[in-house]
Chains A and B, each alone.
Chain A
Amino acid sequence: MQEILNKLIDRYAIEPIQENRHNQAFVTIEKNRLPDVLTWLRDYEDYTHLAFITAVDYPEIEKIQLTYMLHNYILHTDLGLRVLLDRTRPEMVSIHHLWKQVATYQRELREMFGIDFPGSPGLQENFALEGWKDIPPMRRDFDTKEYSEKTYFPRPGRQTHDPKEYMKEKLYPSAKEDK
């Protein structure tokens, strides 16, 4: 693990590095260098398996973090590459040419986090949501309660009661009148 991290530092001057376990590390990379680093890791350093691409929203620092998780089947090590994007207009370089499954991941990220990947095939197609008009639902500031109240009509029987008062009223309906 240390060997590949040293190479990354030498070659791309990458830091900071977070080493989790003896076989897992996360590094932060500048946005435009990512395709270059990924291609090098895949073709020369045996990080041939892309486990996933996902995003983490940080509204407090106005950033969205993308995580690309690579795996080396020879050394059995995981390398997570993190990229920080501007949250107001998140846009990332598409890497759909490197692995076949990437286009689907990017399609999902566009829908769930509103991240644009120019040039990615089928990017505008729906992934899981159909006709979504609101802000991307996986963003932290998407209010699920407000959305459901706005979208679905309130059904009867869902109001909440104070259990003590409610039971008293149900069991002894006359008690209230006596007072």
Chain B
Amino acid sequence: MSDRSKFPPVIDGKAQFDLDSGKYIKVWQGPQHPGVTGNMALELIISGDEVIDLTTHVGYLHRGFEKLMERRRYIQCFPIVCRICVPEPDTNEYLLAAAAEELAGIEIPEKAKWLRTLTLELSRLASFLMWIGGQSGAFGMGTVAQWAIAQRDFILDLFEELSGGRVYHMYIVPGGVRDDLPSGWDKHLEDVLVKTEKMLKEIEIVMFNNVIFKMRAQNLGIITPDMVDKFGIVGPNARAAGLARDLRKDEPYLIYDKLDFQVITRDFSDAYNRTYLRWQEMWQSIGLIRQIMAGMPAGNDYHYNLPNVLNWKIPHGETYVKAESTRGEYGFYMVSDGSGYPRRVYVRGPSYTHAMALLPHLAVNVNIADMAGLMVSLHTYPPEIER
């Protein structure tokens, strides 16, 4: 251990520093940062090149989705919710639809469930590809980032063919989905999956066997199993710590109970293992997409006929629905007062706890050069913090 006599004293886990002493510097990382999708500022206090204190600031992206939804009919909320999470919009669309359907007592057709699961898995893959771009870029491997982002574009092409939208699809609507699969789409999908698999193999060689990446990412930002409940950690961050918690398995929604997959866990949650676990989940996603395509029911019954959606009143009630996103438990809490407008829609994004509570805890004593890598290894998307 190096000489730490010049570092400030730590009382109750909090470094006691006086900025006027001139010994410590305040550095702002962000709000613009290429590794994070969205804007979030980290206020770092550094001693030498080590972070001794971190505060996360949000507010650069506040678009007031929850307030906007209070003034709109249920069907008008749809084009809004997908914008809460840019790289993975389908989870939002599905959850809003699921919450409205549960309160209205609508059972959607079987084929719609398969199509919804297909888009959820496809957007999971796209989201992970975008994330691995940020993760590798933060550790100086820009090549991987370029491969991954380019590969994500092929998936966006598939979405464009399917729904007409590249980034925001608005494909999942209350009562089912908007359209059936276009003809020839399954062949395009298989082409993209094969290309993605080839790229994932290459990523393993250049990223996980890279000694620089290993040295920097191993033992960075360790999450111990006892921290998981204390901080409300979910998703891959918790699974890397050895806790097999996956909503797709624990509380199967849509058709996940008909698919064959295992929850992937690691036994030590540091930046390296979290990255590796997400890389494994990309393979899992590809496998799930193939299973869904193989089992896709025939016919074109993919939409439940709703009443006039512009005058659609949902009975009084409240519910909380959730789904496993790339970051973990994503949920919509919806309260209906019997009118045509939602009384309240609350969006529970997993990044909230990861960025606001966990990151300041993990950042202490981290080298400032590794801060970006640590932040991206928690996979935070700021828009879901300030909905």
Which residue numbers of A lie inside 8 Å of B, CB to CB? 18, 20-21, 23-24, 26, 48-52, 54, 56-57, 67, 69, 73, 76, 78, 80, 99-101, 103-105, 126-130, 137-138, 140, 144
Contacts and interface: CB of A to CB of B under 8 A. Distances in A.
A140 B70 contact: yes
B329 A26 contact: no
B186 to A, nearest CB: 34
- Give the residue among B66, B230, B353 with the most A Cβ atoms within 10 A: B353
Contacts of B260: none
B66 A138 contact: yes
Contacts, number: 89
Contact of B346 (A18, A52, A140): A52
Interface stretch (B56-64, B114-122, B131-139, B298-306): B56-64
Nearest to B231: A100
Given A101-B232, A128-B62, A130-B59, A51 B344 contact: no
B232 A69 contact: no
Contacts of A101: 231-232, 352-353, 356-358
Nearest to A139: B67
Given A23-B251, A73-B245, A140-B70, A57 B59 contact: no
B245 A56 contact: no
Interface string B329-354: 10101010000000110101000110
Contact of A76 (B251, B333, B356): B251
B331 to A, nearest CB: 6
Contacts of A129: 59, 62
Nearest to B56: A104
Given A127-B58, A129-B59, A20 B356 contact: no
A97 B303 CA distance: 47
A50 B64 CA distance: 23
A67 B331 CA distance: 14
A26 B316 CA distance: 14
Contacts of B245: 73
Contacts of A126: 59
A56 B361 CA distance: 30
A80 B348 CA distance: 14
Contacts of B329: 51
Given A23-B251, A51-B320, A101-B232, A137 B356 contact: no
B263 to A, nearest CB: 13
A20 B319 contact: yes
Given A18-B318, A20-B317, 18 more contacts: A20-B318, A21-B102, A23-B251, A49-B229, A52-B333, A52-B348, A54-B333, A54-B344, A54-B346, A56-B343, A73-B245, A78-B320, A99-B230, A101-B352, A101-B356, A101-B357, A128-B59, A128-B386
